[in-house]
Amino acid sequence: MSSTKNIFAVFKREFFSYFNSPVAYVILVIYLLAVMGFCFFFGGFLSTDDASLTRPFFMWHPWIYMVLAPAVGMKLWSEEHRLGTMELLMTMPISPWQAILGKFFAAAMVWLIALTLTFPIVWTVSYLGEPDSGPILSSYVASYFYAISCLAVTSAVSAFTRSQVICFIISVAICLVLTLLGMQQVVDAIIKSLPASMEDTVRFISYLCFLSHFYDMSKGLLVFRDILYFASVITFCLMITHYAIQSKRA
């Protein structure tokens, strides 16, 4: 019970810190403008016959997350290092894991709010037609997992540096690689430039990237292996965060 209370205490402190400054409001507004702008102006929402929203709306989410998710998560630990409050936080009667989970859940909640604010487009599609709810639901789940996976990557990077700018740049670069290597066009181009013996290796690396599993989940089927993949990525990144924090305490 005390463990849950400690996690919630860190969660509350971190979550309200987003909304006590303009950070959360700015990111939420940018996110909503970006997803709606891409949907209507580049996704051809008004002219498409895709009532599932998979192509006009959800296909842009990974590209937005790889920039905006690090913007939300870059302060998770970098800010503690910069302000010198890391030592204070670690001397409190909470474990590193409780602090890590509390901070991560707070940032994840910001993205849950962001996705919830996009529901009007679902109401619009339901009003204009009869969409298949399966792909919409699975795409929302895939979108959220993508966002918090990028957050987990940022958390790991943030634990190693006191500079939010450096954390942001490195996190965006990692998320960009994990997105690009999941694109079939990029994979085919890499395979053509390498010996034939490397094809299986390249395709295996591609399978380990975010975008491949995002596309699979957005087809209307929530397959356990895709959920397990994102859960494994998040767990692995949080374990790296824990290692970084423990090494600084030593």
Residue 149 has pLDDT above 90, yes or no: yes
Q: Are 75 and 164 in contact (CB under 8 A)?
A: yes
Q: Using one digit for the tens of pLDDT, what is the confidence trace for 154-213? A: 999 998 888 889 999 999 999 998 888 878 787 778 888 878 777 788 788 778 788 888
Tokens of 16: 């309200």
Q: Using one digit for the tens of pLDDT, what is the confidence trace for 79-117? A: 777 766 666 666 667 788 888 999 999 999 999 999 999
pTM, 2 dp: 0.88
Q: What is the pLDDT of residue 222?
A: 75
Provide the residue ranges of all domains of the chain, joining segments of one domain with +: 2-249
Q: What is the number of residues in the chain?
A: 250
For the chain, what is the radius of gyration of the CA atoms?
19
Q: Are 237 and 152 in contact (CB under 8 A)?
A: yes
CA 83 distance to own-chain centroid: 25
Looking at per-residue pLDDT, the higher value among 241 and 204 belongs to 241
Q: What is the pLDDT of residue 237?
A: 95
Which runs of consecutive H residues, i.e. helices, occur in the chain? 2-19, 23-37, 61-73, 75-83, 86-91, 96-116, 119-128, 133-158, 164-180, 184-193, 199-207, 210-217, 224-249
Per-residue pLDDT band for 150 (boundaries 50, 70, 90) equals very high
Q: What is the pLDDT of residue 249?
A: 62
Residue 44 has pLDDT above 70, yes or no: no
Listing DSSP states for 172-215 in one string gives: HHHHHHHHHTT-HHHHHHHHHHS-GGGHHHHHHHHHTSHHHHHH
Q: Are 179 and 214 in contact (CB under 8 A)?
A: no
